[in-house]
Amino acid sequence: MTTATPAEPKSSSLGVRVASAVVLAPIVLGAVWVGGTAFLALLLIAGPLMALEWARLAAPKGSGATEQIALTIGLVVYLLAMGAGDAGLAFVLLLAILGLTMAWCFWADLPPSRTLIGFAYVGGAVASFAWLRGDSDMGRLTIIWLLGVVWATDIGAYFVGRTFGGPKMAPRLSPNKTWSGLIGGMVSAAIVSVAVFVWADVQSITMSTGILVGLAVFAALVALLSQAGDVYESSMKRRAGVKDSGTIIPGHGGILDRVDGLMFAATFVALVVISVHYLVGWMS
């Protein structure tokens, strides 16, 4: 008589997830707090790994080696330029890398769209993190604010969605996401946004009611993009026929599985900050 092998208990899987979080969270938060070389090193490690994960999702059945190499090289060089603090050099290198990547894909008979979208998706987000953290004081607060808003979005969307349910946002792509969850995530993000700046007690900013309301509205928009990032990666994984983007984080899957909500959000925040910076400079 054959005895069936018992399934792995859920508590074991949860334990692995918790252990991974306990190990990784201090590393990530420590790099965010210290900034400088430590934060750039974190991006230089995570960035190429995310690029490889994305390339495998974009071309899971093969012919992705060239795309992976192009994405990785381009991302590393761009990050080095951003780390040097020379935005002009970074922009020139970005154009050069895009041109070389297009030429490479044409020569290798690969669809350039997958490579360029991957470069924009991964490279844009990681470069945005590097640029946002560049300022020693406000950069730290900005990254903490961004992480807090996105995490609050995920938590709020999860609990509100489970509690109230309702119509699905994108049933074919991400069947667990509901419109009630989205609203809960946006409200949670707005609350955490205000709480972070009140906690930080930024001396250079007068925390008027108008500014706090503006931060709350901005956080709600970031939450919306965060959820869009989740749905986008879900569509990529469904298209590739895989559950996770990778296996590098035990119990969690790939890096993209953990930061999918941050990808669109980081790029959006960086673009807004840059726009406001130049607008204020132009008006003054």
Number of domains in the chain: 2
Task: Check whether residue 151 and residue 209 sit in a common domain.
Answer: yes
pLDDT digit string (tens) for 94-123? 666 666 666 666 655 556 666 667 777 887
Give the domain range for residue 152.
136-284
Domain match, 179 and 107 both: no
The HSE-up count of residue 195 (CA atoms within 13 Å, CB side) is: 11
Query: Within a domain: residue 178?
Result: yes
Instruction: Please report the sign of the dihedral spanned by the C-alpha atoms of residue 165, residue 166, residue 171, residue 173.
Output: negative
Q: Is 16 within a domain?
A: no
User: pLDDT below 70 — which residues of the chain?
Assistant: 1-14, 59-116, 135-137, 201-207, 284
What global pTM score does this model have? 0.81
pLDDT of residue 7: 46
Instruction: Indicate if 172 and 128 belong to the same structural domain.
Output: no
Burial per residue of 21-60, b for 16 or more beta-carbon CB atoms within 10 angstroms, e otherwise: eeeeeeeeeebbeebeeebbebbbebbbbbbbbbbbbbbe
Confidence at residue 75, expressed as pLDDT on a 0 to 100 scale = 65
49 and 147 share one domain: no
**Residue 101 domain-assigned?**
yes
Q: What is the pLDDT at residue 137?
A: 65
Answer whether residue 72 is part of any domain: yes
Same domain, 122 and 148: no
Query: Is 216 within the bounds of a domain?
Result: yes
Maximum Cα–Cα distance across the chain: 84
Same domain, 81 and 145: no
234 and 165 in a single domain? The answer is yes
User: In the listed set 99, 134, 169, which residue is the last one of a domain according to the structure?
Assistant: 134
117 and 161 in a single domain? The answer is no
d(CA 256, CA 199): 30
Domain shared by 130 and 147, yes or no = no
Q: Tell whether 108 is covered by a domain.
A: yes
* Domain identity same for 173 and 278: yes
Looking at the structure, do residues 157 and 108 belong to the same domain, yes or no? no
Question: Do the Cβ atoms of 183 and 231 come closer than 8 Å?
Answer: no
Please tell me the predicted confidence (pLDDT) of residue 2. 42
Residues in contact with 258: Cβ distance below 8 Å, sequence separation at least 6, in sequence order = 249, 252
